[in-house]
């Protein structure tokens, strides 16, 4: 879900303020520079590549009706996915793991607001439909399925191939608050024929 490639050491994209300042003084030179290259320069392409080499998500924070039930559910799953629990001082929970570049990724669970604890999660209401975690192998999908069964979790769809793709092997399940989750392993792309 949060895997990344090694970060490239490329020039950063200039800030909006610096672009605005330079654009007012160099409108004529920038238009002539764009005319020969379609508007893309090596710097622009390099900056875009640097953005795509960074993680897309930093953290995910969920609200739970019962934090203790969320801990019993999430802790064994997240530990198996390489996350370690971290202390919090807000009656919530947190798990952290480093991404490929060593930056922390977080899953945080905090208590739902008292007035909203009776509101059920609905898959197709506005907001989160489901969250998919990346598995390292089909075996890991099967292992987590066994953990889910031991926890008495609601398994929506057992481990199988999905999306009409033999390289997409997943299990779908719900957390104690009804949030739909998935653990998916995608194999290597098929070689062109």
DSSP state of 83: -
**Average predicted confidence (pLDDT) for the chain:** 79
Closest C-alpha to 65, from 73, 55, 76: 73
Boundary-marking domain end, from 101, 118, 135: 118
22 located within any domain: yes
Residue 133 inside a domain? The answer is yes
* pLDDT over 90 at 101, yes or no: no
Decide if 1 is inside a domain: no
Residue 181: predicted pLDDT: 95
Enter the tokens of residue 100.
């490929």
Q: Domain containing 107: what range?
A: 57-118
Same domain, 21 and 31: yes
CATH code assigned at 67: 3.10.180.10
Give the length of the chain. 193
**Neighbour order of strands in the sheet with 84-86:** 59-64, 104-111, 93-98, 84-86
CA atoms within 13 A on the CB side of 6: 2
Distance (Å, whole) CA 76 – CA 139: 16
Reported as a single tens digit per residue, the pLDDT across 103-142 is: 999 999 999 999 988 888 888 888 888 999 999 999 999 9
The torsion defined by the Cα of 12, 18, 20 and 23, in degrees rounded to 10, comes to: -80
Q: How far apart are CA 99 and CA 58, in angstroms?
A: 10
- Please report the pLDDT score of residue 4 as a whole number: 35
C-alpha distances (whole Å) from 96 to each of 9, 23, 104, 137, 146 are 25, 42, 6, 21, 23
103 Cβ partners below 8 Å, 6+ apart?
55
Closest CA to 187 of 119, 150, 148, 140: 140
Q: Residues 12-57: pLDDT tens digits?
A: 334 334 334 444 444 444 444 444 445 566 676 666 666 556 667 7
As a whole-number percent, the residues of the chain with pLDDT over 70 amount to 68
DSSP state, residue 125: S
Q: How many domains does the chain have?
A: 3
Q: Copy the structure tokens of residue 96.
A: 């952290």
């Amino acid at each position: 879900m949060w895997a990344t490639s090694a970060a490239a050491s490329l020039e950063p994209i200039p800030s909006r303020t610096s672009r605005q300042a330079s654009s007012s003084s160099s409108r004529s030179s920038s238009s002539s520079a764009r005319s020969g290259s379609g508007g893309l320069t090596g710097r622009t392409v390099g900056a875009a590549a640097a953005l795509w080499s960074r993680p897309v998500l930093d953290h995910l924070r969920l609200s739970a009706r019962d934090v203790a039930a969320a801990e019993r559910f999430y802790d064994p799953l997240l530990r198996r996915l390489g996350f370690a629990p971290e202390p919090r001082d807000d009656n919530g929970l947190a798990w952290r793991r480093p991404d490929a570049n060593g930056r922390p990724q977080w899953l945080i669970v905090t208590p739902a607001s008292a007035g909203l604890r009776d509101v059920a999660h609905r898959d197709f209401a506005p907001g989160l439909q489901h969250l998919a975690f990346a598995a390292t192998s089909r075996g890991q999908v099967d292992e987590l399925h066994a953990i889910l069964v031991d926890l008495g979790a609601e398994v929506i769809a057992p481990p199988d191939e999905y999306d009409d793709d033999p390289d997409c092997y997943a299990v779908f399940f719900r957390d104690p608050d009804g949030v739909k989750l998935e653990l998916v392993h995608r194999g290597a792309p098929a070689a062109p024929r």
